[in-house]
Amino acid sequence: MNHTVTADTLRVDDATLHYELRGTGPLVVLVGAPMDARAFEAMADLLAVDRTVLTTDPRGILRSPVDDRDRDSTPELRADDLRRLVEHVGGGPAAVFGSSGGAVSALALAQHHPEVAHTVIAHEPPLDQLLDDREELRVKTEDIVATHLAGDVLGAWKKFLAVANIHLPDEVVEHMAAEQQDPQAAADAWYQHARMLLPTTLWEPDLDVLRTSSTRVLVGLGEESAGQLCDRTSRALAAALGIEPTMFPGGHIAFAEDPAPFVERLRPLL
């Protein structure tokens, strides 16, 4: 099912944000980090039957250039970008679905700008600071960044997957690293590791604010993510908020790999 896609940009203080709109109806925002809008296309098409769906490339990634690539992409900055986008396109407050680093962006939105989101569904946010082994994870994440910046892209991916406790065949990991020889993919991967990974995984949510926010906060978790790092962080966040995780079919990127059952589970939550 294909819907007319309107693509445009929004200039903010230090970046130009690429965004896309589909469908008509109540506003839904789908966001990742470092995943760009392309990862949500199939999901957005399914939701656009009766929703207006906003997708975007996060700052510094693909079609959303930043003025200063030496400035960190923090959850607060990305949340403010989302606020500006929702206010720009109208139709808010919105339901916001964020996955991975985008889930952290969505939580920061609920924390700092609750007026623009009536519901936030944070799917597998990598909030390492909620875990007992956070210092060990910080050291390992810093090593991932150092490895990538030293030029060993394959080594960085292997370390990243090891920390995430995601097991892929060697040839798949090698293919992922080889894909980053494309100049744009290489630039995005550099930005992810140099400017996004540590600010995201080291972010500490204000749990008291999220518990009492006017925004309804749900924590999404993949049924096939058991034992992975984001399974641990998602369960820790849900426990800290006094709620149960909301289970979704598939794993960490099931919304892109098999969007139909994922959207079927998501739709009643909106």
Q: How far apart are CA 193 and CA 155, in angstroms?
A: 13
CB-CB contact of 30 with 58 (8 Å): no
Tell me, what's the pLDDT at 61? Answer: 98
pLDDT over 80 at 227, yes or no: yes
User: Helices marked H in the chain — which ranges?
Assistant: 41-47, 75-89, 101-112, 134-149, 153-164, 170-179, 183-191, 197-201, 207-212, 229-241, 254-257, 259-266
More confident residue, 157 or 48: 48
What percent of the chain has a predicted confidence (pLDDT) above 90?
A: 90
User: 19 forms bridges with which residues in the sheet?
Assistant: 8, 56
Provide the mean pLDDT of the chain: 95
Q: How confident is the model at residue 42 (pLDDT cuts 50, 70, 90)?
A: very high
Q: How far apart are CA 159 and CA 50, in angstroms?
A: 41
Tell me, what's the pLDDT at 1? Answer: 60
Q: How confident is the model at residue 177 (pLDDT cuts 50, 70, 90)?
A: confident
What token pair was written down for 217? 């906060």
Q: Supply the pTM of this predicted model.
A: 0.96
Q: How confident is the model at residue 176 (pLDDT cuts 50, 70, 90)?
A: confident
Q: How far apart are CA 91 and CA 203, in angstroms?
A: 29
